[in-house]
Structure 1
Amino acid sequence: MPIVPRPDPDFGLADIPPNPPVHYAEQALLGALLLDPHRIKTIGPLDPDRFASANHRALFAAMATLTAPAPDLHAREPVWIAAVLAHARPHARGLTPSYLHALAGACPDPAHAPAYARMVRSDHARRTVLMHAGLLVQAANDPGLPDPTAVTLRRADALTALLDHLAATFPSHPGSLPRTPPPAPPNHQEGTEAAGEEQLLLSTAAAYPAALASMRWLRPEDFTTVLYGGLYRCLTSLAGRGEPVDKVTVLWEAQQQGLLTAAFGSQEALELLATPAGTPEHWGEQILRRSLLHRAHLTGLHVQAFTQDLTNSPHQVITGSRRALAHLAGVRARWQQATGRTPAGRPPTPPVPASRAGPSPQRTSLPPASSRSPR
C-alpha cells in the first residue's frame, strides 16, 4: 500500500501566543486618554515609540499632536475619537472605530493613566536593553567584521550609555539585584588556532622570559585551555620570584603545581615548550583579544537573561546589567594596557613565517578533555 503522508495540523487559535501584559497596559492608557483626553498632561514624558504595538504608536502620536476638545463638547459628541482615528489611520491602516471603542472599554479607571504610562515606559526600557544586548552578542561572534574588537567595544559603550540614561529615569528600590539564574556559558570551541597560539606563547615566553615583566595584562583565565593557563601561571610565578625561566624550570614548576598527568607528562611539556616563534607580546595579544570577545559574549547573554525575566523591575535590570558590564570592563582595561604599551617609533613585531604560524605537527593534538574547558 502506498504511504500517505499525514497532513500537518491546522494552525488554530490556541497556537497564537498570548499578548504580554504591556499590551493591556497600552490599551488601558489609550482608553484612559480617549475617555478623558486632558489626562495626557498627567502621565509624564512619553513618546509614541515607547509603545510596542504599531497601532498604539499611531494612536498615541495622534493624541499627542491633536488639541483635546472642550470637556462639555467631549461629553456630548464623539469628536475626539473621530479626530484621533482620522489622524492615526494613514499610519496604521488596520485601525477601526470599533477598536477605539474597545480601547475605551479596556480602561478600568482613567485616573490610573499615570500608572499605565509607567508600565509602558518600563517595558520599553526592557525591550531596548534586550536589543542592545543582542547587538553586543552579535558583534562578539561575527568574525566577518573588519575589526570585531572595536565594534564589540562600541556596542558595549552604547549599552553602558543606555543604562546610565535609564538609571536617571527609574528610581532605585530595595532588593535591587536580580534573582535571575545565570545563563549557561556559551559553548566555546577552542579549535586548533586558539590552542596553537597559546602553545606558541608558552614556548616563546619560556625562551624570552624578559617579556613577562611587561605582560601583566595577560592572565591564566584568558586561555581557552585550562592546562595552558596553568603553564602560563608557572612561567609568571618563576619570573615573579626572580628565578631562572627556561623549559626545564617550567617543567619542574608544572610538577609542583600538579599539572603533569599520564596524558600530559614531562616529554609532552618539553616538546610544547621547545619551538618559540615571534614574540610573547604578539601571541599574548591574540589570546587576550579572544578572551575579550568571549567575555563580551557572556556579558550580552547575562543582560539578555535579566531582561527576558519579566519578574525583574527596570532598576533590577539596570543593576544586574551594570554588574555584568563591570566584568567586561576589567578585561577591556587590560586590553587597552596591552595594545597601548608600544612606544612611538618602536618597530612593529616581525612577521612569523607561515610554517611557524601554529604548533608543530607532533603537537597539534589538544590535551584530553579533562584538562580543557571553556573559560
Structure 2
Amino acid sequence: MPGRTQLYGDGEGPEDPAPSPPVHYAEQALLGALLLNPARLNTLGPLEAVQFHNPAHAAVFAAMASLPAPEAAVHAKEPVWLTAVHDHARRDARVLTASYLHALVQACPAPEHAPAYARIVRADHARRTLRAQAERLVQAATGSTMPDPAATAMTRADALAGFLDNLASLFPPHPGSLPRTPLPPPPEHDSGAEAAYEERALLACAVARPETLTAMRWLQADDFATPLHGQLFRCVAQLAHRGDAVDPVTVLWEAQHHGLVPSLPPREILDLVSTPAGAAEHWGERVLQRSLLHQARTAGLRIRAYTDDPATSVHQLVTGSRRALADLTAVRARWHHATHPGPAPRAAPTSTAARAGPRSPRTKPASAVRTGR
C-alpha cells in the first residue's frame, strides 16, 4: 500500500519515521473505492472531510463531495473526474500528486467494503474528538485563573456527556462493552497553603457552631484535600449528629477513638479546632468546590486514558466514559445542593461580608463563587 511519501511523488519529501496508524489505511481504501466508483459516496452514511485523520485525505474527500459525480460510462474511459478531484484537493493539500490518487485505487482491497471503511474513519474521529473533550475538561478543572472554575468545568462535562450520547446513537453496542484499559492513578489533591487554610478554618468554625453541620450534609470527609482534616471533620460531624457536646476537648477525645492522635499530637488538634474565623458554610463551599474540580480532573484523565488505548472500541469508550462521569455527577449533585438552596434558605448573617468571613489568599466570597463575579 502506498506510504505517506508518495504524496510528494517520486520519493521527494521527507520520510515519516512513525508508522501510520490503522485508520490511515482505512482512509486510503475508502478513497480508492470512491475514486473507482464515485456513486459509492451515497452508501457511506454521515461522513465529513473533517473526520479524516490525514489532512491530504480530507482534502481529497472534500473535493469528491463538492464536485458533481461523473457519468459512469465516461468515468470508466477517461480520468476527467480524477483530474478534477486532484486539482480541487490541491487547494488545501499542495503536496498531493496525481500519482498518489492512482496509488489510492491500488490501496483498496475491496471497493464494495467502502461503508465499512467509512465506519472506521468515523470511529477513529470519535476517539480523537472524545480525547479532545476530555483534555478540555482536565484543563478546566485545573485552571485557577478562571472567574468561576466550577461552572466552567461543569459546562465542559455537559458537552462531553452530550457527545457521548451522540456516539451511543451512532455506534451500536456489542458484547464485552466494558473497557479493559488499566485506570491511571488519581491525580493529587490541591493541598497547597490555600486549601490547608480553608480546611482548618472550616474545622474551627464547625467546632464553634456545630449546629451549622445539620445544613451542611452536602459536605463529606472525602472532599478534603488533606485526609487528616477530613477525618477530623468526620469526628466533629459525628459528635454534632449524635447531639453530644462539641468543643475542642470533646473533638480531641473523639479523634483519639478514630486513631488520629498518634498521627497528630493532641496540642496540635486543639490548636487546629480552636480559632474560628468566618462562617463554616463559606469554607465548606470552598472545600466542596475543590473536591468537585478534583473529581472533574480525575474523570477527564480516566477518559483520556481510554482514548489512548487503541484496543478500546467506540462503545467501550462510551461505557467507560459514562462511568467516569458518574462519579463526578455524584459530587456535582452535592455542589448544586450547597450553592442552590431550596425554598427554605439557610440561616445566614445579614451581610455578604459577614457570611463569607475573612478571605484566604486568592479566595472569593461564597456568593461570588456561585455567580461568577
Which residue of structure 2 aligns with residue 321 of structure 1?
A: 321
- Partner amino acid for 2:357? V
| C-alpha contact (below 8 Å) 2:303/2:324 kept by paired residues | yes
CA-to-aligned-CA distance 1:84-120 (integer Å, 9 cap, x gap): 1122222222211011011111111101101100000
Secondary structure of 1:330's counterpart equals helix
For residues 59-70 of structure 1, the aligned pairs below 5 Å read 59-70=60-71
* 2-structure distance, mates of 1:83, 1:344: 70
CA-to-aligned-CA distance 1:331-363 (integer Å, 9 cap, x gap): 111111111128399632515346xx48xxxxx
Displacement of 1:239 in angstroms is 1.6
Alignment of 1:352 with 2:353, yes or no, is no
Which residue of structure 1 aligns with residue 229 of structure 2?
A: 228
Which residue of structure 1 aligns with residue 275 of structure 2?
A: 275
Which residue of structure 1 aligns with residue 110 of structure 2?
A: 109
Displacement of 1:45 in angstroms is 1.4
| C-alpha contact (below 8 Å) 1:285/1:339 kept by paired residues | yes
For residues 1-375 of structure 1, the aligned pairs below 5 Å read 16-261=17-262, 263-341=263-341, 343=345, 347=350, 348-350=352-354, 351-353=356-358, 357=360
* 2-structure distance, mates of 1:292, 1:284: 12
- Partner amino acid for 1:241? R
* 1-structure distance, mates of 2:221, 2:190: 18
- Partner amino acid for 1:107? C
Structure 1 pair 200–344 and aligned structure 2 pair: CA distance change class (3 A): closer
- Partner amino acid for 1:232? F
Secondary structure of 2:170's counterpart equals coil
* 1-structure distance, mates of 2:182, 2:15: 30
Secondary structure of 2:90's counterpart equals helix
| C-alpha contact (below 8 Å) 2:282/2:357 kept by paired residues | no
* 2-structure distance, mates of 1:225, 1:130: 30
Structure 1 pair 26–14 and aligned structure 2 pair: CA distance change class (3 A): closer
* CA RMSD between the two structures: 1.9
| C-alpha contact (below 8 Å) 2:215/2:346 kept by paired residues | no
* Percent of pairs with identical residues: 57
| C-alpha contact (below 8 Å) 1:278/1:349 kept by paired residues | no
- Partner amino acid for 1:28? A
* 1-structure distance, mates of 2:347, 2:239: 31
* 1-structure distance, mates of 2:139, 2:248: 40
Displacement of 1:15 in angstroms is 7.4
* 2-structure distance, mates of 1:82, 1:200: 73
* 2-structure distance, mates of 1:324, 1:42: 35
- Partner amino acid for 1:306? Y
CA-to-aligned-CA distance 1:296-334 (integer Å, 9 cap, x gap): 111100000011111011000011001101110111111
- Partner amino acid for 1:297? R
* 2-structure distance, mates of 1:135, 1:189: 19
| C-alpha contact (below 8 Å) 2:137/2:156 kept by paired residues | yes
Which residue of structure 2 aligns with residue 5 of structure 1?
A: none
Moved more, 212-221 or 53-62: 53-62
Structure 1 pair 101–309 and aligned structure 2 pair: CA distance change class (3 A): same
* 2-structure distance, mates of 1:136, 1:43: 32
* 1-structure distance, mates of 2:163, 2:173: 16
Size of the aligned set, in residue pairs, is 344
Secondary structure of 1:180's counterpart equals coil
* 1-structure distance, mates of 2:358, 2:329: 34
Extract unaligned runs of 5+ from structure 2.
1-13, 362-373
- Partner amino acid for 2:43? T
Moved more, 342-351 or 16-25: 342-351
| C-alpha contact (below 8 Å) 1:211/1:280 kept by paired residues | yes
Displacement of 1:187 in angstroms is 3.5
Displacement of 1:284 in angstroms is 0.4
* 2-structure distance, mates of 1:232, 1:37: 68
* 1-structure distance, mates of 2:44, 2:284: 54
Displacement of 1:186 in angstroms is 1.8
CA-to-aligned-CA distance 1:186-240 (integer Å, 9 cap, x gap): 2334112111111111111001001000000000000011111111111111122
Q: TM-score, normalised by structure 2?
A: 0.88
| C-alpha contact (below 8 Å) 1:134/1:300 kept by paired residues | yes
Moved more, 122-131 or 184-193: 184-193
CA-to-aligned-CA distance 1:24-82 (integer Å, 9 cap, x gap): 11111001100111111211111111111221111111111222222221111112211
Extract unaligned runs of 5+ from structure 1.
1-12, 359-375
Displacement of 1:246 in angstroms is 1.5
Moved more, 20-29 or 236-245: 236-245
Displacement of 1:243 in angstroms is 1.5
CA-to-aligned-CA distance 1:245-268 (integer Å, 9 cap, x gap): 11111111111111111x512211
* 1-structure distance, mates of 2:294, 2:236: 24
* 2-structure distance, mates of 1:207, 1:341: 23
Which residue of structure 1 aligns with residue 5 of structure 2?
A: none
- Partner amino acid for 1:278? G
- Partner amino acid for 2:116? A
* 1-structure distance, mates of 2:129, 2:45: 19
